[in-house]
Structure 1
């Protein structure tokens, strides 16, 4: 067993680092959600912000859009031209995806400054693409409501998770310490 641990030391280190960072950040995010003040920013600040930014983006695209708190669920209702097309829930705010991204990058960390800048740039990119994703999904749901299942469950997760995967692959091939050791 010891020989296997020594042989696969870098794999074990990656897995333990990834799981530790993911657990700590997920726990911190859960505490944030548990203690967020839903009276000022409903249902929580980040979900509210993403909903409002999606609304602004849709307005920029020329759609008459409104965001209103959902009466029965902890979410924001997104209305396009008076038609209820989508709910923006906590899972739509991209924080969980950013936590997954961060955990991987930290597990494959490179130089501190490079790692920090990549985490910052990648997180901003993921967040921004997510806002565009919600806006485009809303337009799609407004114009093609019968395509809801494929739009929401297949195409748009593919966009966000596909981009995260590409960011990971770019990181590993260009900046991680693992790349430097193999060279």
Structure 2
């Protein structure tokens, strides 16, 4: 998620500047970002939400199985039916999300202000919801917020060229046997991202 967030910020320098300004205002450059600062970093929270909406950790929920025959939305669901929910489709639904493919963190300050990522709203639930919601949500969100805030605060984020960072997706994970050392030490270099100490 951190890689997606950094790439989105590099492709949207206006959003990155707003996040930097918010951090300068609420934390400053001389202090480290701490958990107590997160409640004041409202715009950073919108960036995390929008990143989770666009690039959720998994496109489908774990399967659920009906314990008894039931009727949902007029459809008869027999006992033992397995259900996989397509979270990606829900979070990219143009009837719920205007311009669903666009990175617009501001939507969580206006039209979608009520939406959270903890499984309480059904427009955005990247960690699932209900009794089977991911138990690590608090840890994941704190880690993501603090790490992203620290990177924005402590480093100057720049792209190698004027070209946008390639955000295309592919299936699977591949690892080359001849990985250059700099890629192992700084995975962001393979994304044409430079971290420069401020």
Q: Could you state the TM-score of these two structures normalised by the residue count of structure 1? A: 0.29
Specify which structure has the bigger relative contact order, considering alpha-carbon pairs within 8 angstroms and separated by 6 or more residues: 2
- What TM-score do you get using the length of structure 2 for normalisation? 0.28
